[in-house]
Every structure is written in structure tokens, then in C-alpha cells.
Amino acid sequence: MTHLSKVGTFQLGGRTVKRFGYGAMQLAGPGVFGPPKDRNAALAVLREAVKSGVDHIDTSDAYGPHVTNQIIREALHPYPKDLVIVTKVGATRGPQGSWDPAFSAEDLTSQVHDNLRNLGVDTLEVVNLRIMFNALGPAEGSIEAQLSSLMKLQREGKVRHIGLSNVTAKQVEEGRAMTEIVCVQNLYNLAHRHDDALIDSLAASGIAYVPFFPLGGFSPLQSSALSDVARQLGATPMQVALAWLLRRSPNILLIPGTSSVEHLRENLAAAELELSEGAMKALERITSSR
């Protein structure tokens, strides 16, 4: 069995988690909409993750919607004491599966309540406020109103810790001036390194950075340099992409997503993978050739 403790731990809110977690988005149906083809397979992935030592699961009630959280509850409730489930708010799903920004105080309140009900908990350990001012990615603009609404839910005891997602460095700064921000979740991987400076500044402040799409998301990473390094190491390209993130900065927490137990095991085995300086240099070339 893979020893996840090899990759070390990091603070996530009031808890300490292993740096290798799991992202549950792939457990809903196609397009993250509706139920999965095989519910038992989805339950098996979650149980295997926890059995393998994963103590950090990322989710959202917008996955399905509701479906992924209900599967998490069915697979794992009552939850192990050391398991940290991180969810997010800021979007709802349209009737055809669109992702619609939903940021009013009423929207955020009902999303927090949906998460509480579907996960079967009294308090959400960490909630990421996912900003969606622009469909393409982070876009500048004040987050004060949205964050104030979430802070109110925190004061009411529904939310223990707050994180931010899909945000700019300026929005992180604005958020940190208002309250404690325990993590930032943005798109980042070997080929998308827009957040390099942000990751380093969060590391200096002891704040977790949780890259989404660590494997490239809906279009998994493909690069001849990545395949070459993987071949030399007797590993898979996905394992190398994850090992690179672990090497990149100590505040990076992994949440790769998969709907398959086989892929989950393959991904977790990346915890054992050592990247030489030569491999790191070859991988850096992927970024510079973007």
C-alpha cells in the first residue's frame, strides 16, 4: 500500500492534513451533472481513498448538483474523525447543467444549507468562496459583499473556516484583510503556472494552496517532455505531474479527481515518486514552452 505520510502534512484551517487528498467532482454523471453511471463504483472510490489514508476530500453541492455530496455521505458517514471535507459555494446549476454564478446572501445561505444537509453535518469544516466574475477564470473586482455574507454564516456556526477559489492575488489580499483565509483553490498544474508568485507568497504566510485541475481537468495533460520523464522513471505521466506539484511548494495540497479505483491507486502511488533535479529541469521546459 502507498504510504501517504511520505509526502508530509500541512495546516488546513484548524486541522493538519496529509498533502495528498482527493477531489470528488468526477463522481457525478457526465459533465458533472446528474448521477454517475455506476453509483457503486463511485462509493468504492471514496472508500478506497479513505482506506488508503486520504484525510482531505474536496467537493461542492453543485456537483450533480447534490449527487456528489450524497454519495460522499453514503460512502463515509459517520465520517472518520481525521477526515476534512472541504466544500465550495458561489454557483448553482441550470436545468441543462450550466454553472451559474449565485452570490447573493440568500444564494450563499441556501448553498451552505444544501451542503450541510447533503453531507449530513452540523458545521462545514472549510468552505471556499468561489468567485465567478468571468466565465474564463479569475477576474478583478471587490469580493467584500460576498465574503461578508459567508462570514455571517461563519459567525452563526455553520462554517468553521473560509477559503477562496478562482481568485486573483488582489482578491486574496482583500479577503485576508477581512478575515482569516485558510486556503486558496485555483487552476494550476505543470502547464498552467499563472499563480507561481501567489503560491510562494501564500507559502510564506503558512496558507494552503490547493490546485484544481492538477492533471489538466477535462483535457488531461499531454506533453512529450512529461511522457519522456515518466518513461525514464517507470511511472505514468499523471504520477509525474502530481509528484512535480508536491515538489513545487510545501503548501500545495493535492486533490486529483478520478471516478476509477484503478486511477486512484495509480495517483496515490505518486506519493512514492522521487523526482531528480534532472527530471525537474526537464519538466520546467514544459512551462517555458507554453
Ligand X SMILES: NC(=O)c1ccc[n+]([C@@H]2O[C@H](COP(=O)([O-])OP(=O)(O)OC[C@H]3O[C@@H](n4cnc5c(N)ncnc54)[C@H](OP(=O)(O)O)[C@@H]3O)[C@@H](O)[C@H]2O)c1
- Beta carbon nearer to ligand X, 149 or 185: 185
- Does 212 participate in binding ligand X (rule CB under 6 A)? yes
Query: By CB under 6 A, which span of 191-199, 210-218, 224-232, 271-279 interacts with ligand X?
Result: 210-218
- Beta carbon nearer to ligand X, 140 or 156: 140
Residue with cell 445561505: 109
Residue 63 annotated in active site: yes
Q: Report which residue type is found at 84.
A: V
Half-sphere exposure of 241 (CA within 13 A, CB side): 30
The answer to whether 102 touches 91, Cβ cutoff 8 Å, is: yes
Q: Report which residue type is found at 137.
A: G
Q: Report which residue type is found at 248.
A: R
Q: Which of 22, 63, 79, 209 is catalytic?
A: 63
Q: Report which residue type is found at 100.
A: D
**Cis peptide bond N-terminal to 78, omega within 30:** yes
Q: Classify 100 as helix, strand or coil.
A: strand
CA dist list (Å): 268 to 1, 22, 27, 58, 243: 9, 9, 17, 15, 10
- Does 73 participate in binding ligand X (rule CB under 6 A)? no
Q: Classify 29 as helix, strand or coil.
A: coil
Closest among 210, 272, 217 to 245, alpha carbons compared: 210
* Closest CB 255 distance from ligand X, rounded Å: 5
Residues in 264-283 that interact with ligand X by CB under 6 A: 266-267
Quick one: how many helices (H) and strands (E) in the chain?
10, 11
Q: Classify 10 as helix, strand or coil.
A: strand
The answer to whether 127 touches 87, Cβ cutoff 8 Å, is: yes
Question: Which residue in 13, 36, 163, 257 binds ligand X (CB under 6 A)?
Answer: 257
Size of interface with ligand X, in residues (CB under 6 A): 27
- Beta carbon nearer to ligand X, 155 or 233: 233
- Beta carbon nearer to ligand X, 154 or 165: 165
- Beta carbon nearer to ligand X, 45 or 279: 45
C-alpha 54/C-alpha 171 separation (Å) is 30
- Beta carbon nearer to ligand X, 33 or 213: 213
Residues in 92-151 that interact with ligand X by CB under 6 A: 130
Question: Which residue in 185, 209, 229, 230 binds ligand X (CB under 6 A)?
Answer: 185
Residue 67 grid cell: 449527487
- Give the per-residue contact string, 77-96, with ligand X (x = CB under 6 A; - = no): -----------x--------
Residues in 12-31 that interact with ligand X by CB under 6 A: 23-26
Question: Which residue in 66, 176, 192, 263 binds ligand X (CB under 6 A)?
Answer: 263
- Give the per-residue contact string, 154-183, with ligand X (x = CB under 6 A; - = no): -----------xx-----------------
Residue 147 grid cell: 465574503
Question: Which residue in 15, 28, 48, 58 binds ligand X (CB under 6 A)?
Answer: 58
Residues binding ligand X (CB under 6 A): 23-26, 58, 88, 130, 165-166, 185, 212-217, 220, 238, 255-260, 263, 266-267
Active site amino acids: 63
